[in-house]
Chains A and B, each alone.
Chain A
Amino acid sequence: MITVEQVTKRYGTTVVVDDVSLELPRGGVTSVIGPNGAGKSTLLSVVARLLPAESGRVLLDGADVARTPGRELARRLGVLRQDNHLAVRLTVRDLVTLGRYPYSRGRTTPDDVAHVDAAVARLDLGGLEHRYLDELSGGQRQRAFVAMVMAQDTEYVLLDEPLNNLDMTHARDMMRTVRRAADELGRTVVVVLHDVNFASCWSDRIVAMRDGRVEVQGPPSEVIDTDVLRRVYDDEITVREVDGRRVALYYT
């Protein structure tokens, strides 16, 4: 279980995460939605101990992430950040193999290779394994980074906008991968999404943020709703039921 206790994060005098408390139970997929600048990435970074909070703390199964040894935490929690540009020249396979670093520390075992192979296959990177990342398209690169996080094989997986740059099919496949990680492997996955319809179709819970606070949280049936979306986005959005799924019509 991820427990966020009264976390506040400021940049200068601007409060970007404002006294947030949140409980995410084990298992399942939680989507985090909200307008640009709502504080989603910042909150995710604090949960992943990449950013120190000014106050409050984050517990992973009861243990404070800021006090857990780095390597131990790296075996339990994996995180994909929103921006991933590399200054180093690595192949897809190199990068995904680095996902095993918390276990192998560079001495790759057959077990590590198996995890890398599985992640490569899951993210449909078979033909690209030996290509350099700087020679890939944006979406291919995005998939390589997600594969690295998957190879890390952690119980908790945090993905900040994993659908960035992905085409329709790969976006759907990505959500399918996320779903399978939760259902078949028992992972606890938190994804930041902008397309509320993906959140609606694939997640168990939606956490909607606005101005550094959690505005609403609940199952898609409650959050994907004209009144709720108005509170989060300040916008009038028609929501329809299509084939048993709630779909927001925000294209026009």
Chain B
Amino acid sequence: MPTWLVVVATSLVMAVLVVASVMIGAIDVSVADLVAGDDDAWDVLLLSRVPRTTAILLAGSAMAVAGLVMQMLVRNRFVEPSTVGTTEAAGLGLLLVTILAPAMPLPGKIGVAAAFALAGTLLFLAVLRAVPVRSIVTVPLLGMMLAGVIGAVATWIAYRYDLLQTLGAWMTGDFSGIVAGRMELLWVTAALAVVAYVMADRFTVAGLGKDTATALGLPYGVVMALGLGLVAVVSAVVVVVVGGLPFLGLVVPNVASLLVGDNLRRTLPWVAVGGAGLVLLCDVLGRVLRYPYEIPIGVVMGVVGSLVFLYLLLRAPAGRSGA
């Protein structure tokens, strides 16, 4: 298929999804009402639906890009923020700052969550280095164990402080609470996705491994640090504003890799669009399945994502290791 056709088709699909996302919900917004100048309809549209849809586009694309960057840097197809403990660590950080400094303004809380997210990622890399056997499958398994441990610690603390429900809400992505005034923070993730695109070639070279990257003159440590920092901040902002979007950063880059390869200069825009599209689709599904009730996006993503993840794991060539 010629590229322009793919671009046109993708744009059409995205446009349909966006319109669906703006129109569908517990309160009906019809084109007729809008044209008639119905104030209520316009309020719902501008204060709820448009921010929600924008948030979906921003968070979806940024998390998918974060997953892609992490896969390049760790050199394993099956890692992403929610399978190595990054997301869980961000949640833990947010929990601690909520308990210890509840009055801290939101950007400060996000900063703490990001620092925890980065620490979680580095802990994962340290564990990875210490473990002698690395097959392509053990790497994500290790990560999920670590994520489980961090999650358990957070649960225990939340239990002690009677914050279990709050923690649950953070870790399960949900766009229904998104309103104008809070989602603006997601523009940070969009800016970081653009930074990732600017750095695309550096990440591709880093994906060749430390030795080859060094031989090509890449400051490997610097790129590693910038990339992991970027992933940590994106994960933290998304956890704080939306909640966890499990497997998103895994499914989309893997499918993109099969279709267009891993040259990030070429792949990254597709991953961004694919991430936004998948989250839009899951969110619309979540709104339609039990209409007029909503199933949180985190739940829909979890089901869809884990199924695709399993499929990808099973078809992985045995023995090829990453990291």
How far is the CB of B2 from the nearest CB of chain A, in Å?
15
Contacts of B258 in A (CB 8 A): 89
B77 close to A79 (CB less than 8 A)? no
B261 close to A85 (CB less than 8 A)? no
How far is the CB of A105 from the nearest CB of chain B, in Å?
7
Chain A, residues 130-141, CB within 8 Å of chain B (1/0): the string is 001000000000
Q: How far is the CA of A152 from the CA of B213 in the complex (A)?
A: 13
A102 close to B216 (CB less than 8 A)? yes
A71 close to B217 (CB less than 8 A)? yes
B176 at the A/B interface (Cβ < 8 Å)?
no
B208 close to A86 (CB less than 8 A)? yes
Q: How far is the CA of A48 from the CA of B202 in the complex (A)?
A: 20
- A-B pairs with beta carbons under 8 Å apart, 18 shown: A45-B211, A50-B215, A70-B217, A71-B217, A78-B215, A81-B212, A87-B207, A88-B204, A88-B208, A89-B262, A90-B262, A91-B263, A94-B263, A98-B216, A102-B216, A105-B201, A106-B265, A152-B216
A98 close to B77 (CB less than 8 A)? no
In the complex, chain A residues 119-133 whose Cβ is within 8 Å of any chain B Cβ: 132
Q: How far is the CA of A50 from the CA of B214 in the complex (A)?
A: 7
Chain B, residues 194-234, CB within 8 Å of chain A (1/0): the string is 00000011101101110110111111000000000000000
Q: Which among A45, A70, A85, A94 has the highest number of chain B CB atoms within 10 Å?
A: A70
B121 at the A/B interface (Cβ < 8 Å)?
no
A170 at the A/B interface (Cβ < 8 Å)?
no
Closest 9 interchain pairs by CB?
A: A74-B217, A106-B201, A71-B217, A88-B262, A87-B75, A88-B207, A87-B322, A102-B217, A89-B262
A233 at the A/B interface (Cβ < 8 Å)?
no
B216 close to A74 (CB less than 8 A)? yes
Interface size class of B (residues with CB under 8 A): 20 to 34
Q: How far is the CA of A132 from the CA of B218 in the complex (A)?
A: 23
Interface size class of A (residues with CB under 8 A): 20 to 34
A198 at the A/B interface (Cβ < 8 Å)?
no
B320 at the A/B interface (Cβ < 8 Å)?
yes
B54 at the A/B interface (Cβ < 8 Å)?
no
B257 at the A/B interface (Cβ < 8 Å)?
yes
B217 close to A75 (CB less than 8 A)? yes
A88 close to B214 (CB less than 8 A)? no
Q: How far is the CA of A106 from the CA of B204 in the complex (A)?
A: 10
Q: Count CB-based A-B contacts (< 8 Å).
A: 74
Q: How far is the CA of A49 from the CA of B320 in the complex (A)?
A: 27
How far is the CB of A150 from the nearest CB of chain B, in Å?
13
Contacts of A87 in B (CB 8 A): 75-77, 207, 209, 320, 322-323
B262 close to A101 (CB less than 8 A)? no
Q: How far is the CA of A75 from the CA of B322 in the complex (A)?
A: 28
A162 at the A/B interface (Cβ < 8 Å)?
no
A98 close to B208 (CB less than 8 A)? yes
B72 at the A/B interface (Cβ < 8 Å)?
yes
Chain A, residues 42-69, CB within 8 Å of chain B (1/0): the string is 0001001110000000000000000000
Contacts of A102 in B (CB 8 A): 216-217
B76 close to A49 (CB less than 8 A)? no
Smallest CB gap from A106: residue in B: B201
In the complex, chain B residues 283-323 whose Cβ is within 8 Å of any chain A Cβ: 320, 322-323
How far is the CB of B321 from the nearest CB of chain A, in Å?
8
Given contacts A81-B211, A87-B75, whether A101 and B218 have CB atoms under 8 Å apart is yes
Chain A, residues 204-248, CB within 8 Å of chain B (1/0): the string is 000000000000000000000000000000000000000000000
Given contacts A70-B218, A94-B263, A132-B261, whether A106 and B76 have CB atoms under 8 Å apart is no
In the complex, chain A residues 28-53 whose Cβ is within 8 Å of any chain B Cβ: 45, 48-50
In the complex, chain B residues 40-73 whose Cβ is within 8 Å of any chain A Cβ: 72
A101 close to B205 (CB less than 8 A)? yes
Contacts of A94 in B (CB 8 A): 204, 261, 263
Q: Which one of B76, B211, B217 contacts A73 once the chains associate, using CB atoms below 8 Å?
A: B217
